[in-house]
Protein backbone atom coordinates (compact mmCIF):
# COMPACT_ATOMS: atom_id res chain seq x y z
CA UNK A 1 0.00 0.00 0.00
CA UNK A 2 2.86 2.38 0.86
CA UNK A 3 4.48 1.72 -2.52
CA UNK A 4 1.21 2.49 -4.27
CA UNK A 5 0.89 5.83 -2.41
CA UNK A 6 4.49 6.73 -3.24
CA UNK A 7 3.86 5.82 -6.88
CA UNK A 8 0.75 8.05 -6.94
CA UNK A 9 2.75 10.94 -5.47
CA UNK A 10 5.49 10.51 -8.08
CA UNK A 11 2.94 10.44 -10.90
CA UNK A 12 1.16 13.53 -9.54
CA UNK A 13 4.44 15.42 -9.11
CA UNK A 14 5.59 14.47 -12.63
CA UNK A 15 2.27 15.74 -14.02
CA UNK A 16 2.64 19.07 -12.20
CA UNK A 17 6.23 19.51 -13.45
CA UNK A 18 5.20 18.66 -17.03
CA UNK A 19 2.31 21.13 -16.87
CA UNK A 20 4.65 23.87 -15.57
CA UNK A 21 7.14 23.14 -18.38
CA UNK A 22 4.33 23.35 -20.96
CA UNK A 23 3.23 26.75 -19.58
CA UNK A 24 6.83 27.94 -19.66
CA UNK A 25 7.34 26.76 -23.24
CA UNK A 26 4.05 28.34 -24.34
CA UNK A 27 5.05 31.65 -22.75
CA UNK A 28 8.53 31.77 -24.32
CA UNK A 29 7.14 30.79 -27.73
CA UNK A 30 4.39 33.40 -27.48
CA UNK A 31 6.84 36.08 -26.32
CA UNK A 32 9.24 35.33 -29.19
CA UNK A 33 6.44 35.45 -31.78
CA UNK A 34 5.00 38.69 -30.39
CA UNK A 35 8.42 40.33 -30.06
CA UNK A 36 9.23 39.47 -33.68
CA UNK A 37 6.14 41.38 -34.86
CA UNK A 38 6.69 44.52 -32.76
CA UNK A 39 8.89 47.12 -34.48
CA UNK A 40 8.69 49.74 -31.73
CA UNK A 41 6.72 50.84 -28.72
CA UNK A 42 6.16 53.99 -26.72
CA UNK A 43 4.56 54.88 -23.43
CA UNK A 44 5.20 56.16 -19.93
CA UNK A 45 7.52 54.89 -17.24
CA UNK A 46 7.86 55.18 -13.49
CA UNK A 47 11.35 54.50 -12.16
CA UNK A 48 11.98 53.78 -8.49
CA UNK A 49 15.49 53.55 -7.10
CA UNK A 50 15.87 52.26 -3.54
CA UNK A 51 19.31 53.14 -2.22
CA UNK A 52 20.32 50.86 0.63
CA UNK A 53 22.95 53.12 2.20
CA UNK A 54 20.62 56.09 2.60
CA UNK A 55 17.40 54.09 2.97
CA UNK A 56 15.82 56.47 0.45
CA UNK A 57 13.66 55.90 -2.57
CA UNK A 58 14.03 58.18 -5.57
CA UNK A 59 11.12 58.31 -7.99
CA UNK A 60 11.37 59.50 -11.58
CA UNK A 61 8.70 59.71 -14.26
CA UNK A 62 8.76 60.18 -17.99
CA UNK A 63 8.20 58.67 -21.39
CA UNK A 64 9.94 55.77 -23.09
CA UNK A 65 10.40 54.88 -26.73
CA UNK A 66 11.96 51.69 -28.05
CA UNK A 67 12.86 51.16 -31.71
CA UNK A 68 13.96 47.60 -32.47
CA UNK A 69 17.58 47.41 -33.54
CA UNK A 70 18.07 51.13 -33.11
CA UNK A 71 17.61 52.88 -29.78
CA UNK A 72 15.96 53.06 -26.39
CA UNK A 73 15.04 56.55 -25.24
CA UNK A 74 13.97 57.52 -21.73
CA UNK A 75 12.78 61.14 -21.49
CA UNK A 76 12.65 62.00 -17.79
CA UNK A 77 10.05 64.63 -16.93
CA UNK A 78 10.43 64.66 -13.14
CA UNK A 79 12.10 65.29 -10.80
CA UNK A 80 14.55 66.63 -13.40
CA UNK A 81 14.22 66.98 -17.17
CA UNK A 82 16.78 64.92 -19.02
CA UNK A 83 17.00 62.17 -21.61
CA UNK A 84 18.89 58.90 -21.71
CA UNK A 85 19.39 57.58 -25.23
CA UNK A 86 20.90 54.14 -25.68
CA UNK A 87 22.25 53.38 -29.15
CA UNK A 88 24.09 50.34 -30.44
CA UNK A 89 27.54 51.59 -29.40
CA UNK A 90 26.96 54.43 -26.99
CA UNK A 91 24.78 55.88 -24.26
CA UNK A 92 23.96 59.59 -24.18
CA UNK A 93 22.73 61.55 -21.19
CA UNK A 94 21.18 64.77 -22.41
CA UNK A 95 20.43 67.57 -19.94
CA UNK A 96 19.57 71.22 -20.63
CA UNK A 97 23.19 72.06 -19.74
CA UNK A 98 25.11 69.46 -21.76
CA UNK A 99 25.23 66.09 -23.49
CA UNK A 100 27.53 63.38 -22.15
CA UNK A 101 28.32 60.37 -24.33
CA UNK A 102 29.67 57.06 -23.03
CA UNK A 103 31.37 54.56 -25.33
CA UNK A 104 29.86 51.20 -24.40
CA UNK A 105 32.90 49.22 -25.53
CA UNK A 106 34.98 50.94 -22.82
CA UNK A 107 32.38 50.57 -20.04
CA UNK A 108 31.77 46.88 -19.15
CA UNK A 109 29.14 47.42 -16.43
CA UNK A 110 27.31 50.04 -18.46
CA UNK A 111 27.48 47.79 -21.51
CA UNK A 112 26.01 44.91 -19.45
CA UNK A 113 23.16 47.17 -18.30
CA UNK A 114 22.44 48.25 -21.87
CA UNK A 115 22.43 44.64 -23.08
CA UNK A 116 20.01 43.67 -20.30
CA UNK A 117 17.69 46.60 -21.02
CA UNK A 118 17.76 45.89 -24.77
CA UNK A 119 16.99 42.20 -24.29
CA UNK A 120 14.30 42.92 -21.68
CA UNK A 121 12.49 45.51 -23.79
CA UNK A 122 12.79 43.37 -26.93
CA UNK A 123 11.41 40.32 -25.12
CA UNK A 124 14.65 38.47 -25.91
CA UNK A 125 14.86 36.34 -22.79
CA UNK A 126 16.97 33.82 -24.74
CA UNK A 127 19.64 36.53 -25.09
CA UNK A 128 19.67 36.93 -21.33
CA UNK A 129 20.04 33.18 -20.77
CA UNK A 130 23.66 33.34 -21.99
CA UNK A 131 24.63 34.93 -18.66
CA UNK A 132 21.70 33.92 -16.47
CA UNK A 133 19.65 31.06 -15.15
CA UNK A 134 16.06 31.70 -16.29
CA UNK A 135 13.01 30.75 -14.19
CA UNK A 136 9.41 31.23 -15.30
CA UNK A 137 6.16 31.39 -13.35
CA UNK A 138 2.71 32.78 -13.93
CA UNK A 139 1.15 35.04 -11.32
CA UNK A 140 -2.19 36.84 -11.07
CA UNK A 141 -1.91 39.26 -13.97
CA UNK A 142 1.61 38.71 -15.26
CA UNK A 143 4.09 36.26 -16.67
CA UNK A 144 7.09 36.49 -14.33
CA UNK A 145 10.64 35.69 -15.43
CA UNK A 146 13.40 35.62 -12.81
CA UNK A 147 17.01 35.83 -13.96
CA UNK A 148 19.99 34.86 -11.80
CA UNK A 149 23.64 35.14 -12.88
CA UNK A 150 25.28 31.84 -13.69
CA UNK A 151 27.73 30.55 -11.06
CA UNK A 152 31.15 32.15 -11.43
CA UNK A 153 29.80 35.14 -13.37
CA UNK A 154 31.15 37.82 -11.03
CA UNK A 155 31.21 40.55 -13.68
CA UNK A 156 27.41 40.53 -14.00
CA UNK A 157 26.16 43.64 -12.15
CA UNK A 158 22.93 42.11 -10.77
CA UNK A 159 22.06 39.54 -8.13
CA UNK A 160 18.80 39.01 -9.94
CA UNK A 161 16.45 40.58 -12.45
CA UNK A 162 12.68 40.19 -12.37
CA UNK A 163 10.67 40.74 -15.55
CA UNK A 164 6.89 41.01 -15.59
CA UNK A 165 5.09 40.61 -18.91
CA UNK A 166 1.42 41.26 -19.69
CA UNK A 167 -0.62 38.06 -20.01
CA UNK A 168 -2.58 39.26 -23.04
CA UNK A 169 -0.10 40.97 -25.37
CA UNK A 170 3.28 39.95 -23.86
CA UNK A 171 4.33 43.59 -23.46
CA UNK A 172 6.82 44.39 -20.71
CA UNK A 173 5.08 45.65 -17.57
CA UNK A 174 7.99 45.95 -15.16
CA UNK A 175 11.72 45.35 -14.84
CA UNK A 176 13.27 45.02 -11.36
CA UNK A 177 17.07 45.15 -11.15
CA UNK A 178 18.45 43.81 -7.86
CA UNK A 179 21.99 45.12 -7.86
CA UNK A 180 24.96 43.53 -6.12
CA UNK A 181 25.24 46.72 -4.04
CA UNK A 182 21.77 45.82 -2.62
CA UNK A 183 20.22 48.84 -4.36
CA UNK A 184 17.01 48.09 -6.26
CA UNK A 185 15.91 49.86 -9.42
CA UNK A 186 12.51 49.19 -10.92
CA UNK A 187 10.90 50.42 -14.12
CA UNK A 188 7.13 50.21 -14.47
CA UNK A 189 5.85 50.69 -18.01
CA UNK A 190 2.41 52.26 -18.43
CA UNK A 191 0.15 53.14 -21.36
CA UNK A 192 2.35 51.24 -23.83
CA UNK A 193 1.47 51.49 -27.50
CA UNK A 194 2.93 48.66 -29.57
CA UNK A 195 3.72 49.41 -33.22
CA UNK A 196 3.94 46.51 -35.66
CATH for 97: 2.50.20.10
**DSSP string across 61-83:** EEEEEEETTTEEEEEEEESS-EE
**Domain count of the fold of the chain:** 1
Reported as a pLDDT band with limits 50, 70 and 90, residue 21 is low
The whole-model pTM stands at 0.79
The string of pLDDT tens digits covering residues 110-163 is 677 777 777 766 777 777 777 788 889 888 788 999 988 888 777 777 888 898
Query: By percentage, how much of the chain surpasses pLDDT 90?
Result: 28
* Tens-digit pLDDT profile for residues 55-69: 789 999 999 998 887
3-class SS of residue 116: helix
Cα–Cα distances in Å, from 101 out to 92, 104, 134? 4, 9, 32
Q: Between 115 and 96, whose confidence is greater?
A: 96
pLDDT at position 187 is 92
Task: State pLDDT tens for residues 23-57.
Answer: 788 888 888 777 777 788 899 999 999 988 887 89
pLDDT in tens, 164-185: 988 888 888 998 989 888 899 9
Please give the residue range of the domain that contains residue 61.
2-195
Separation of alpha carbons 128 and 102, rounded Å: 23
Amino acid sequence: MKRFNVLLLIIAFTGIVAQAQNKSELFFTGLAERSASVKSFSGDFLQKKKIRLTDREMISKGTVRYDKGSAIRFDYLSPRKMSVVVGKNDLKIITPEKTTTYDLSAQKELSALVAVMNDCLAGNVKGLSKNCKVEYMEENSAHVVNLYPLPGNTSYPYESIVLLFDTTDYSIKEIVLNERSKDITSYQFLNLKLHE
